[in-house]
């Protein structure tokens, strides 16, 4: 298995409340050829905490160091015969190329796919969608952040009795391509003329939350572009990795107890307001969810539960087969290749994720983590001209995912109930009559 890691060097000290500049920070693509290379990188992570591994869920550490330490890393890699390529010499230049636009209020079509948007722009657009499509769209608040922001999203529904597709994105703040793609998907569900897209929009209730870590997302725009966690203070440090904080094998693998780590799992499962409120919201509709998608970047992977073991648990074979076919559909438009597998076999063990929790506690039939574009070049700094193609191919894959799920007998066409939920529901009715 070839793994590609990103390593970022952080230099200088970071003064809060002014935008941090990443001048002369370099991004490396590491090409481990076998498991012994992987062990070296693992040691590097544990011993030398200056490096920030970008690929999730590889263990990460982020420390501020001067750029001359680039030489250290290159020497360590050369001595150990691990191949590497610097892919971005100056991170700040890549950040500066990431255009951020304003959304024109009351004009839902002015949300476009050639730039990124700040939180308040996305939220204003959601409010305008509800005004523009009052019979179909309602805004939804799925929870509250540490700093008191709403986790705002929307529900698209063409009538009662439908099963749910749930899309959660932006839980890692710096993964900007995920809210952008999810907004595109939302727009397609409302405006596309493609018959399959229209059918998908009508057949399900869609619950879509583009930014589930609003504080972190705001921070990436105002202060620190490469922030990943939420913004809760922990001693002298900040932030909990919200995708290690869910109550499923919490802190078992790929998580840290060190608040300075990018994978810090928090003081306990659901210690964070974001995960606590969001999980409560999801639980209330949990038995109606057929498909749960957790959107991340990068690496071009489609991951399935669980993250604690490579064992094929639950309906693993169905989920992987459906996923592989959908990734075939994803590749048609631009040739983008994805790898499908469970979290542990595809990259590295990681637990406490939303996807594992949804699978374990809500028993949702089809749960996937998307790691969107790209693979080894720009990572979290995907240029704006890749927003539209990334969004289009991801939409193609979701439509095919629904198609394949039906072929595998996971749902009736139309607004049918999934069989496995029918039995407990009927039993409950009988009991309450008695």
Ligand X SMILES: *[C@@H]1O[C@H](CO)[C@@H](O)[C@H](O)[C@H]1NC(C)=O
Interface contacts to Zn ion, rule CB under 5 A: 56, 172, 296
Could you say which of ligand X, Zn ion, none residue 306 binds, taking C-beta under 5 to 8 angstroms by partner kind? Answer: ligand X
Can you read off the two tokens belonging to residue 237? 């440090």
**DSSP state, 348?**
-
Can you read off the two tokens belonging to residue 2? 């070839």
Could you say which of ligand X, Zn ion, none residue 172 binds, taking C-beta under 5 to 8 angstroms by partner kind? Answer: Zn ion
Report, in Å, the least distance between residue 40 CB and ligand X.
26
Instruction: Find out whether 250 and 265 touch, Cβ atoms under 8 Å.
Output: yes
Residue 139, SS3 per DSSP: strand
Report, in Å, the least distance between residue 253 CB and ligand X.
9
- CA atoms of 181 and 239, how far apart (whole Å): 25
Report, in Å, the least distance between residue 415 CB and Zn ion.
32
Residue 183, SS3 per DSSP: helix
Is position 118 annotated as part of the catalytic site? no
- With a CB cutoff of 8 Å and minimum separation 6, the contacts of 6 are 27, 28, 29, 30, 52, 53, 54, 55, 87, 376, 379
Report, in Å, the least distance between residue 249 CB and ligand X.
5
Could you say which of Zn ion, ligand X, none residue 296 binds, taking C-beta under 5 to 8 angstroms by partner kind? Answer: Zn ion
- C-alpha dihedral (213, 215, 221, 222), degrees to nearest 10: -170
- C-alpha dihedral (348, 351, 354, 356), degrees to nearest 10: 90
- CA atoms of 186 and 245, how far apart (whole Å): 27
Could you say which of ligand X, Zn ion, none residue 229 binds, taking C-beta under 5 to 8 angstroms by partner kind? Answer: none
- CA atoms of 329 and 275, how far apart (whole Å): 32
Report, in Å, the least distance between residue 225 CB and ligand X.
16
Catalytic, out of 168, 175, 360, 371: 371
Could you say which of Zn ion, ligand X, none residue 56 binds, taking C-beta under 5 to 8 angstroms by partner kind? Answer: Zn ion
Q: Which is nearer to ligand X, 21 or 202 (CB)?
A: 21
Positions that interact with ligand X (CB under 6 A): 23-24, 248-249, 306, 308-309, 313, 360
What angle separates helix 177-191 from helix 119-132, to the nearest 10 degrees?
10
**DSSP state, 218?**
H
Q: Catalytic positions, please?
A: 371
């Amino acid at each position: 298995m070839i793994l590609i890691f990103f390593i970022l060097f952080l230099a200088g000290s970071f003064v809060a409340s002014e935008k941090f500049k990443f001048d002369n920070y370099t991004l490396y693509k590491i090409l481990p050829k076998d498991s012994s290379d992987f062990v070296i990188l693992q040691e590097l992570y544990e011993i030398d905490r200056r490096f920030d591994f970008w690929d999730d869920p590889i263990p990460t550490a982020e420390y501020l160091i001067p750029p001359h330490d680039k030489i250290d890393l290159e020497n360590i890699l050369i001595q150990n015969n691990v191949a590497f390529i610097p892919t971005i010499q100056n991170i700040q230049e890549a950040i500066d190329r990431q255009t951020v636009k304003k959304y024109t209020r009351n004009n839902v079509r002015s949300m476009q796919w050639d730039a990124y948007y700040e939180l308040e722009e996305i939220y204003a657009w959601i409010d305008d969608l509800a005004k523009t499509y009052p019979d179909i769209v309602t805004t939804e608040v799925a929870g509250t952040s540490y700093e008191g922001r709403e986790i705002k999203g929307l529900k698209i529904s063409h009538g009662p009795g439908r099963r749910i597709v749930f899309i959660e994105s932006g839980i890692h703040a710096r993964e900007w391509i995920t809210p952008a793609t999810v907004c595109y998907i939302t727009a397609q569900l409302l405006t596309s003329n493609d018959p399959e897209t229209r059918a998908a929009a009508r057949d399900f209730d869609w619950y879509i939350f583009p930014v589930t870590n609003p504080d972190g997302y705001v921070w990436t725009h105002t202060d620190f572009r490469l922030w990943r966690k939420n913004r809760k203070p922990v001693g002298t440090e900040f932030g909990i990795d919200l995708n290690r904080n869910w109550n499923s094998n919490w802190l078992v693998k790929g998580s840290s107890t060190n608040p300075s780590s990018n994978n810090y799992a928090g003081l306990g499962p659901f210690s964070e307001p974001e995960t606590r409120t969001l999980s409560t919201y999801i639980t209330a509709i949990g038995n109606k969810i057929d498909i749960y998608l957790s959107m991340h970047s990068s690496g071009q992977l489609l991951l399935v539960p669980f993250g604690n073991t490579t064992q094929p648990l639950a309906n693993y074979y169905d989920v992987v087969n459906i996923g592989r076919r959908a990734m075939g559909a994803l590749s048609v438009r631009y040739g983008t290749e994805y790898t499908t597998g469970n979290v542990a076999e595809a990259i590295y063990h990681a637990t406490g994720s939303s996807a594992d929790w949804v699978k374990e506690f809500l028993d949702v039939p089809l749960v996937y983590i998307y790691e969107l574009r790209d693979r080894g070049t720009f990572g979290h700094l995907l240029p704006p001209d890749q927003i539209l193609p990334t969004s289009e191919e991801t939409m193609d894959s979701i439509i095919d995912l629904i198609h394949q799920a039906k072929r595998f007998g996971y749902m009736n066409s139309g607004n049918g109930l999934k069989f496995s939920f029918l039995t407990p529901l009927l039993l409950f009715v009988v009991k309450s009559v008695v």
